[in-house]
Structure 1
């Protein structure tokens, strides 16, 4: 064998060894990840769990565990879709940022003028409540009167409308408020001329190639993941079919620019974990995903910038305690027994989506303890 052939053979052998070693290392990491997840699921009585991990713009790991439906014992798959709860808020703001870029409104606009009725804290009647305040939960509006209809805060519809406001001045304190985001969806309809669910599908989901939406009847019901509410008193789970209520009768009487809460801009998006991870990557990449720009870099930075004292921006929150030593940006969800989390590190370019359809683990500081453990396991095994 000539010296040249020996060198080529040696180089090829070393390359093959490196590839095999890398493959074995990756398999070991995934094996450790899955054994960790199985242990966490058992510890916290998780019915099912879908996860997706993003690094440098690509999904490097996506897997589902446990059950999609307990009664049928159907296994959960990556193709199945959940009602993702409050992560939905970021879709609403992303859509509004598109309208802001088009010059149709401003974050400093008076919400009263945008929704078409008086939105003023009666204790501070001269203080303008802006769109920025509403989207950052600093408007002083609360959910005490409910948030499934705008009638609760409309002075012409609810004699107790004043109860929708807290005692403090708008813009000075934070209180999480679903009503504000249902109002935001209404504003989107008024200024775009498109029904809320259709706007989001046309201008965000379709361009990104994502399957999902707010309208139940527009989706394949066979892909819905059953959600299970945990009862700590009986240590048992019960299904929550209302999570996917089609609300056909209400939609048949739909009033553009007012009955928008039917679609729940505050929490009604349905989507799989991998598709949610692709959407998250768009925000991590400052508004663009694989060559498709959804919002400008400026809009993406505005959404991620801290406004409230707890790090909440515009439907995205900076969380410093989720992964030790890492400042993560994202959002959580909690409804009908489901818990979800979507968090990314914008500078280091990694992120996670974790969703469970039922667990006995409690929620602390706006994120579920079981999901926090899963997220840290994914970080330690696949990113760190």
Structure 2
């Protein structure tokens, strides 16, 4: 009798494992179908439910030349989602009383930051981090000289013709300058400070410095040429900038690491970082930010656009859900990281190359994959039984 019972238990277990395997395949199959619509090179994803990662996965290729498959542990340059790491680090200094969000940014950066048309209006750190500074990227953003009156004759072109704090315009220069301020305040190189204060405490395999990472883990990035119907590799995405780093000047050379878009991280580790913000500053027993600081980052400054401090509120990404997060786009890569602090779920999606189409202002492929994952794993999980943490 006991032997028969054990056999039934074993059979039941095998059946269950079979269903789980099928379920895993169904998720990837669904992602593959969407990816095929956009000719995606590869797509990696991570799903968080009730504050925990329940699923990670990847389809397609890490490298088209070698046909090496993409994995959820591969590292991507995630583009503008990187901005939230910069803002998180600065909020840590706000907590310590080192700075205020309403400080004059010119005092922090070490040269005048004033819109010439509104010279009496102080441009604050809060304005910089929320893209309401009236600063633009007309002169570029990889060199701080472009906006420094003592370095550039064209510095005035870096400002828009409206009063700081009154309107929103997305601007990469804002965050490369913010990274320089971090260095001036801490006396530490930007990439090293982020690693010490955010990445290491969360046990994340990530960073801004290419030479500090295992380059074998990098997912190559490809840009689609619609005329040739061809994907071209963009190796510049992982340029180590070794010469610039060897001559590095704190508070000035900072754009070398691109605080505005240079973070390299996997979808799995980005999901862990996302959970920290979802939990208002805490992950796996480690508190990175105080609850008040995390909420400040998620609170709209630019009301119309929904932008807070390097995090944005959206209502058009997953149906009518109010979500917080950010997207990224560079070199042909498209990334998205959105979460709901109220419902404790979040989804990260990254493609290392795809045909670019938009859906109501959002990149279509990351939005469609996110909605599929939400419908399959969060809203209707009973239809697709999954092993927690499965790949």
TM-score (norm 2): 0.92
Deviations 1:311-356 (A, max 9, x none): 1100100110001121111000000110000000111100011000
Q: CA deviation at 1:31?
A: 3.7
Name which of 135, 151, 163 aligns with 1:169: 163
Distance in 2 separating the partners of 1:357 and 1:57: 26
Deviation at 1:362, TM superposition (A): 2.3
Aligned residues: 376
Q: 2:118 aligns with which of 121, 124, 129?
A: 124
CA contact (8 A) 1:32 1:381 kept: no
Please state if 1:222 is matched with 2:216.
yes
1:369 aligns with 2:367: no
CA gap 1:227/1:178 in 2 versus in 1, 3 angstroms: same
Q: Distance in 2 between matches of 1:317 and 1:126?
A: 29
Question: Per the alignment, in what secondary structure is the counterpart of residue 317 of structure 2?
Answer: strand
**What CA distance in whole angstroms lies between the structure 2 residues aligned with 1:145 and 1:212?**
30
Contact kept? 1:230, 1:360, Cα under 8 Å:
yes
Q: Is the 8 A contact 1:47 1:358 kept in 2?
A: yes
Q: Which of 284, 288, 295 pairs up with 1:290?
A: 284
SS in 2 for 1:123: helix
Match of 1:5 in 2: none
2:344 is matched with 349
C-alpha displacement of 1:193: 1.2
Which whole-Å CA distance do the structure 1 matches of 2:288 and 2:350 have between them?
24
- On the 8 A contact 1:29/1:382 being kept in 2, the answer is no
Equivalent residue for 1:111, pick from 105, 111, 118: 105
* SS of equivalent residue, structure 2 residue 322: strand
Deviating more after overlay: 345-354 vs 30-39 = 30-39
Please report the TM-score for the alignment, with normalisation by the length of structure 1: 0.93
- CA displacement at 1:234 relative to structure 2: 1.7
Residue from 370, 375, 379 that aligns with 1:380:
375
* Alignment correspondent of 1:92: 86
Deviation at 1:33, TM superposition (A): 2.2
Structure 1 position 192, deviation (Å): 1.1
- How many Å separate the matches in 1 of 2:24 and 2:66? 28
Unaligned regions of 5+ residues in structure 2, if any? 1-5, 380-391
Q: CA RMSD in A?
A: 2.2
Q: Deviations over 1:284-333 (max 9, x none)?
A: 00000011000000000000011112111001001100011211110000
Deviation at 1:223, TM superposition (A): 0.8
How many Å apart are 1:24 and its aligned residue? 6.9
For residues 166 and 18 of structure 1, the distance between their equivalents in structure 2, rounded to whole angstroms, comes to: 67
Counterpart of 1:256? 250
Question: What secondary structure, in the 3-state scheme, does the structure 1 residue paired with 2:228 have?
Answer: coil
CA contact (8 A) 1:68 1:77 kept: yes
Residue 35 of structure 1: how far off its partner (Å) = 2.0
CA distance in 2 between counterparts of 1:228 and 1:24 reads 36
1:178-197, Cα deviation, whole Å (9 max, x unpaired)? 00000000010011111100
CA contact (8 A) 2:306 2:314 kept: yes
